[in-house]
Structure 1
Amino acid sequence: MASGTQSTGMLTREQLFHLFDRFSFLTSQPDVKKKISGAVQDKQEAVAVTTAIQEEIFSEMGVDPRFGISCLGKVSTVYENDMDLVIQFYKFLSKEEVACDEAELEEEEFAEKLLNQQMLQEQQLEMLKYMRKFNLDDQCAILEKLHQHMENGNYESETSILSAEQIEEIVPRKVSPLYTPR
């Protein structure tokens, strides 16, 4: 490890954003895509190549690569109250998954997976728009039920959506109290 290389503490918000941006840029380059695909054809794991790319970025940043990779495992807990960072982190993870899928899947399979992912995201957006009609307490109840639904479904993609009917079942009806004699 070179002197002056960061190997303790936690990566800063700025360092993480730099990593996310740089990784996104690099994995969109044709030569890097070719490198990942070539590794898969040579029976290597695509994720090993994307991890090596992340390690190179950490080295450029003056961060010990092993330390940087270990910090990634802590991002969602250390920065749990920084929604912008957590969202960017999950986009970064998604970008890595897409880069690996593009290298590992046949062209038709990859296109189908992207289409399915886009349709899922559209359904999620519609669900979120529908949820906005409810007050904050109801929205919290809906999100709690969604979390349980996803947990019970082993976090499979299709469990990340609740139908309007399911949402209506969660939200208590606003009815006038029944008359009860004393």
Structure 2
Amino acid sequence: MSSAPQAPAPAPAPAMLTRDELLRLFSRFHSLTSQPDVKKRIADAVKDKQEAVAVTTAIQEEIFHEMGIDPRFGIACLGKVNAVYENDMDLMIQFYRFVAKEEMAIDEAELEPDEFEDKMNAQQKLQEQQLEMLKQMRKYRPDEQRAVFDILHKLLEESNFESPAVILTPEQIQEIVRRRRASSPDASK
């Protein structure tokens, strides 16, 4: 039996980026894609018939490299954020902002300036409508809010998630809650 010390086993490779690593990526990507030279880089790639998403992915890979993370591993982890961090609402909000920022950078590169402005105005209007819908929903109990979200999810499924958003009017929300209360005597207490 040998008494020579054995080298420690290598640490297992992480299976996922940490929350802090993701937040650093999101922040850095937002900062970079807001800079005129990076916007020009994406636009020039589009003019050269390259896919804009390839450029934004390359930017993400560069950020991972700066962070000391294998870019292939980092990109692969982005596809798992929804599953791994689904219960971390703050991180999920930041993740969706990150995705929206990437889409906006691509749209800005691919669309004519007036088309991009029209799209941004439409997006802002949609966000205002969503905010108003959420404000309306706050008036109701959590179980009633859940019923409204269930209807929204069903409507999205019926549209095969092709509709950018489903907006319910205050009257539609009231009707959903009214029907819920009518069908569930316990719910009205």
**TM-score normalised to the size of structure 1?**
0.89
Deviation at 1:38, TM superposition (A): 0.2
Identity of aligned residues (%): 65
1:88-103 matches, cutoff 5 A: 88-103=94-109
Deviation readout 1:53-112 (Å, 9 max, x if unpaired) = 000000111111111000000001100110000010000000000000000000010000
Tell me what 1:109 maps to.
115
CA, structure 1 residues 166+108, in 2 after alignment: closer, same or farther (shift >3 Å)?
same
Distance 2:90 2:152 in 1: 21
Of 54, 57, 77, the residue aligned with 2:60 is 54
Distance 1:141 1:89 in 2: 26
Tell me what 1:125 maps to.
131
Deviation at 1:169, TM superposition (A): 2.4
Tell me what 1:21 maps to.
27
- Are 2:80 and 1:74 equivalent residues in the alignment? yes
Tell me what 1:162 maps to.
168
Deviation at 1:7, TM superposition (A): 5.9
CA, structure 1 residues 165+78, in 2 after alignment: closer, same or farther (shift >3 Å)?
same
Tell me what 1:86 maps to.
92
1:144-159 matches, cutoff 5 A: 144-159=150-165
Of 142, 165, 172, the residue aligned with 2:148 is 142
Distance 2:171 2:99 in 1: 31
RMSD of Structure 2 on Structure 1 (CA): 1.7
Tell me what 2:17 maps to.
11
Tell me what 1:180 maps to.
none
Distance 2:124 2:160 in 1: 21
Deviation readout 1:111-155 (Å, 9 max, x if unpaired) = 000000000000000000000111111001101111111121232
Distance 1:165 1:51 in 2: 43
**TM-score normalised to the size of structure 2?**
0.86
Paired residue secondary structure (2:178): coil
User: Which consecutive residues of structure 1, in runs of 5 or more, have no partner in the other structure?
Assistant: 1-5, 176-182
Higher gyration radius (CA): 2
